[in-house]
Protein backbone atom coordinates (compact mmCIF):
# COMPACT_ATOMS: atom_id res chain seq x y z
CA UNK A 1 0.00 0.00 0.00
CA UNK A 2 1.16 3.52 -0.73
CA UNK A 3 -0.06 7.05 -0.40
CA UNK A 4 -3.49 7.66 -1.91
CA UNK A 5 -3.61 10.31 -4.62
CA UNK A 6 -6.41 12.84 -5.13
CA UNK A 7 -8.82 11.94 -7.92
CA UNK A 8 -10.83 15.17 -8.18
CA UNK A 9 -10.35 18.86 -7.43
CA UNK A 10 -13.41 18.77 -5.13
CA UNK A 11 -11.84 15.97 -3.14
CA UNK A 12 -8.60 17.93 -2.86
CA UNK A 13 -10.51 20.93 -1.50
CA UNK A 14 -12.55 18.87 0.97
CA UNK A 15 -9.86 16.59 2.37
CA UNK A 16 -6.20 17.43 2.85
CA UNK A 17 -3.94 14.42 3.08
CA UNK A 18 -0.37 13.27 2.57
CA UNK A 19 1.58 15.78 0.44
CA UNK A 20 -1.47 18.08 0.41
CA UNK A 21 -0.94 18.93 4.10
CA UNK A 22 1.30 22.00 3.90
CA UNK A 23 2.11 22.97 7.48
CA UNK A 24 5.43 22.66 9.35
CA UNK A 25 4.04 20.47 12.14
CA UNK A 26 0.91 18.57 13.14
CA UNK A 27 -0.64 16.85 16.13
CA UNK A 28 -0.44 13.25 14.95
CA UNK A 29 -2.70 10.33 15.89
CA UNK A 30 -1.83 6.74 15.05
CA UNK A 31 -4.09 4.15 13.36
CA UNK A 32 -5.13 2.74 16.73
CA UNK A 33 -5.60 6.13 18.34
CA UNK A 34 -2.02 6.50 19.57
CA UNK A 35 -1.12 10.08 20.38
CA UNK A 36 2.30 10.95 18.91
CA UNK A 37 1.92 14.56 20.04
CA UNK A 38 3.08 17.53 17.99
CA UNK A 39 5.67 16.42 15.47
CA UNK A 40 7.15 17.79 12.21
CA UNK A 41 5.05 17.05 9.12
CA UNK A 42 7.94 15.09 7.61
CA UNK A 43 7.98 12.73 10.59
CA UNK A 44 4.20 12.25 10.44
CA UNK A 45 4.39 11.46 6.72
CA UNK A 46 7.18 8.96 7.35
CA UNK A 47 5.12 7.19 10.03
CA UNK A 48 2.20 6.93 7.60
CA UNK A 49 4.45 5.49 4.87
CA UNK A 50 5.91 2.94 7.27
CA UNK A 51 2.39 1.84 8.21
CA UNK A 52 1.33 1.66 4.56
CA UNK A 53 -1.48 4.09 5.29
CA UNK A 54 -2.38 7.73 4.63
CA UNK A 55 -1.91 10.84 6.74
CA UNK A 56 -5.30 12.60 6.77
CA UNK A 57 -6.09 15.99 8.25
CA UNK A 58 -9.09 15.53 10.57
CA UNK A 59 -9.15 18.89 12.39
CA UNK A 60 -7.80 21.57 10.02
CA UNK A 61 -8.76 24.50 12.27
CA UNK A 62 -6.81 23.27 15.28
CA UNK A 63 -3.44 24.84 16.11
CA UNK A 64 -1.54 22.93 14.88
CA UNK A 65 -3.89 20.85 12.67
CA UNK A 66 -4.73 17.35 13.88
CA UNK A 67 -3.89 14.53 11.50
CA UNK A 68 -4.55 10.81 11.71
CA UNK A 69 -2.73 7.90 10.15
CA UNK A 70 -5.49 5.76 8.67
CA UNK A 71 -6.78 4.10 5.51
CA UNK A 72 -8.25 6.65 3.10
CA UNK A 73 -11.06 4.34 1.95
CA UNK A 74 -12.11 3.62 5.53
CA UNK A 75 -11.94 7.32 6.40
CA UNK A 76 -14.17 8.42 3.48
CA UNK A 77 -16.64 5.59 4.18
CA UNK A 78 -17.03 6.70 7.80
CA UNK A 79 -17.35 10.37 6.75
CA UNK A 80 -20.06 9.56 4.19
CA UNK A 81 -21.90 7.48 6.80
CA UNK A 82 -21.85 10.39 9.26
CA UNK A 83 -23.05 12.82 6.56
CA UNK A 84 -25.99 10.55 5.72
CA UNK A 85 -26.95 10.23 9.40
CA UNK A 86 -26.89 14.00 9.83
CA UNK A 87 -28.95 14.48 6.67
CA UNK A 88 -31.53 11.90 7.75
CA UNK A 89 -31.97 13.66 11.09
CA UNK A 90 -32.40 17.06 9.46
CA UNK A 91 -36.00 17.04 8.28
CA UNK A 92 -37.48 19.88 6.33
CA UNK A 93 -40.72 21.04 7.92
CA UNK A 94 -43.61 21.54 5.51
CA UNK A 95 -47.27 22.47 5.80
CA UNK A 96 -49.38 19.46 4.82
CA UNK A 97 -53.08 19.70 4.03
CA UNK A 98 -56.05 17.52 4.95
CA UNK A 99 -59.55 18.19 3.67
CA UNK A 100 -62.81 16.95 5.17
CA UNK A 101 -66.37 17.65 4.15
CA UNK A 102 -69.73 17.76 5.86
CA UNK A 103 -70.92 14.18 5.58
CA UNK A 104 -67.43 12.58 5.41
CA UNK A 105 -67.75 8.91 6.42
CA UNK A 106 -66.34 7.51 9.68
CA UNK A 107 -63.77 5.44 7.80
CA UNK A 108 -62.52 8.37 5.74
CA UNK A 109 -62.34 10.49 8.89
CA UNK A 110 -60.11 7.90 10.57
CA UNK A 111 -57.85 7.60 7.53
CA UNK A 112 -57.41 11.36 7.27
CA UNK A 113 -56.87 11.72 11.04
CA UNK A 114 -54.20 8.99 10.96
CA UNK A 115 -52.44 10.76 8.11
CA UNK A 116 -52.56 14.09 9.97
CA UNK A 117 -51.16 12.44 13.12
CA UNK A 118 -48.27 10.92 11.14
CA UNK A 119 -47.37 14.30 9.64
CA UNK A 120 -47.48 15.99 13.03
CA UNK A 121 -45.23 13.28 14.48
CA UNK A 122 -42.71 13.95 11.68
CA UNK A 123 -42.62 17.62 12.69
CA UNK A 124 -44.76 19.06 9.90
CA UNK A 125 -47.55 21.58 10.29
CA UNK A 126 -50.98 20.36 9.22
CA UNK A 127 -53.64 22.61 7.70
CA UNK A 128 -57.11 21.12 8.06
CA UNK A 129 -59.82 22.40 5.72
CA UNK A 130 -63.54 21.86 6.20
CA UNK A 131 -64.63 22.12 2.59
CA UNK A 132 -67.96 23.90 2.11
CA UNK A 133 -70.02 24.21 -1.01
CA UNK A 134 -73.38 25.61 -1.99
CA UNK A 135 -75.63 26.54 0.91
CA UNK A 136 -73.17 25.14 3.46
CA UNK A 137 -71.03 28.25 2.95
CA UNK A 138 -73.74 30.37 4.53
CA UNK A 139 -74.45 28.27 7.62
CA UNK A 140 -73.76 29.51 11.14
CA UNK A 141 -70.03 29.74 11.93
CA UNK A 142 -70.29 28.01 15.33
CA UNK A 143 -72.18 25.09 13.78
CA UNK A 144 -69.46 24.60 11.16
CA UNK A 145 -66.68 25.10 13.72
CA UNK A 146 -68.12 22.31 15.88
CA UNK A 147 -68.07 19.98 12.86
CA UNK A 148 -64.41 20.75 12.25
CA UNK A 149 -63.56 20.25 15.92
CA UNK A 150 -65.07 16.75 15.77
CA UNK A 151 -62.35 15.82 13.31
CA UNK A 152 -59.59 17.43 15.38
CA UNK A 153 -60.69 15.39 18.40
CA UNK A 154 -59.75 12.07 16.76
CA UNK A 155 -56.20 13.02 15.72
CA UNK A 156 -54.07 10.67 17.85
CA UNK A 157 -51.05 12.96 18.23
CA UNK A 158 -50.58 15.86 20.63
CA UNK A 159 -50.78 19.20 18.86
CA UNK A 160 -51.32 22.88 19.45
CA UNK A 161 -53.22 25.37 17.34
CA UNK A 162 -50.86 27.44 15.21
CA UNK A 163 -53.64 29.32 13.39
CA UNK A 164 -57.11 29.39 14.93
CA UNK A 165 -60.21 28.12 13.13
CA UNK A 166 -61.30 30.75 10.65
CA UNK A 167 -63.08 31.19 7.36
CA UNK A 168 -61.04 30.46 4.24
CA UNK A 169 -61.64 30.33 0.48
CA UNK A 170 -62.47 26.61 0.85
CA UNK A 171 -64.72 27.02 3.88
CA UNK A 172 -63.16 26.77 7.34
CA UNK A 173 -59.52 26.05 8.12
CA UNK A 174 -57.21 25.55 11.08
CA UNK A 175 -53.45 24.96 11.21
CA UNK A 176 -51.90 22.56 13.73
CA UNK A 177 -48.35 21.89 14.83
CA UNK A 178 -46.92 19.18 17.06
CA UNK A 179 -46.84 19.88 20.78
CA UNK A 180 -43.70 18.04 21.90
CA UNK A 181 -44.37 18.93 25.55
CA UNK A 182 -47.37 16.60 25.70
CA UNK A 183 -47.70 12.85 25.33
CA UNK A 184 -49.54 11.61 22.23
CA UNK A 185 -53.26 11.45 22.71
CA UNK A 186 -54.69 7.94 23.04
CA UNK A 187 -56.74 6.72 20.11
CA UNK A 188 -60.50 6.80 20.64
CA UNK A 189 -61.95 3.46 21.73
CA UNK A 190 -65.32 4.21 20.17
CA UNK A 191 -66.20 5.28 16.68
CA UNK A 192 -66.09 9.06 16.22
CA UNK A 193 -69.16 10.99 15.27
CA UNK A 194 -69.03 11.86 11.56
CA UNK A 195 -68.95 15.42 10.34
CA UNK A 196 -72.63 15.06 9.52
CA UNK A 197 -74.79 17.08 7.20
CA UNK A 198 -77.66 19.06 8.73
CA UNK A 199 -81.23 17.89 8.12
CA UNK A 200 -82.54 18.67 4.65
CA UNK A 201 -84.96 21.54 4.39
CA UNK A 202 -88.57 20.64 3.59
Q: Dump pLDDT digits (tens) for 104-140.
A: 888 999 999 999 999 999 889 999 999 998 888 888 8
Fold of 95-178: Translation Initiation Factor IF3 (3.30.110)
Q: Where in the chain is the domain with CATH 3.10.20.80?
A: 9-89
Q: Which residues pair with 97 in a beta bridge?
A: 127
Hey, which residues does 171 pair with through a beta bridge? 131, 168
- Per-residue buried b or exposed e for 165-174, using 16+ beta carbons within 10 Å of the residue's own CB: beeeeebbbb
Q: Which helix (H) or strand (E) holds 70?
A: strand 66-70
* Per-residue model confidence (pLDDT) at position 88: 66
Bin 117: left if φ > 0, else alpha if -120 < ψ < 50, else beta: alpha
Identify the CA nearest to 18 among candidates 51, 40, 49.
49
Domain with CATH 3.30.110.10 in the chain: 95-178
* DSSP-derived 3-state class of residue 113: helix
How much is the pTM? Answer: 0.47
CATH number given to 9-89: 3.10.20.80
The model's pLDDT over 154-200, given as tens digits with 9 standing for 90+, comes to 999 999 998 999 998 889 999 999 887 765 444 444 444 544 555 55
Radius of gyration over alpha carbons of the chain, in Å? 30
Share of the chain above pLDDT 90, in %: 54
Query: Is the confidence at residue 5, as pLDDT, over 70?
Result: no
Amino acid sequence: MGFTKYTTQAEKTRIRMNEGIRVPEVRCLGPEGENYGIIPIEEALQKAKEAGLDLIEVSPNAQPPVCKITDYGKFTYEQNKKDKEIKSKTRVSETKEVQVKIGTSDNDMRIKATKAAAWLKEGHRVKVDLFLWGRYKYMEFNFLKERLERFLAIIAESYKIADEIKKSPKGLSVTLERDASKKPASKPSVAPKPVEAPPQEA
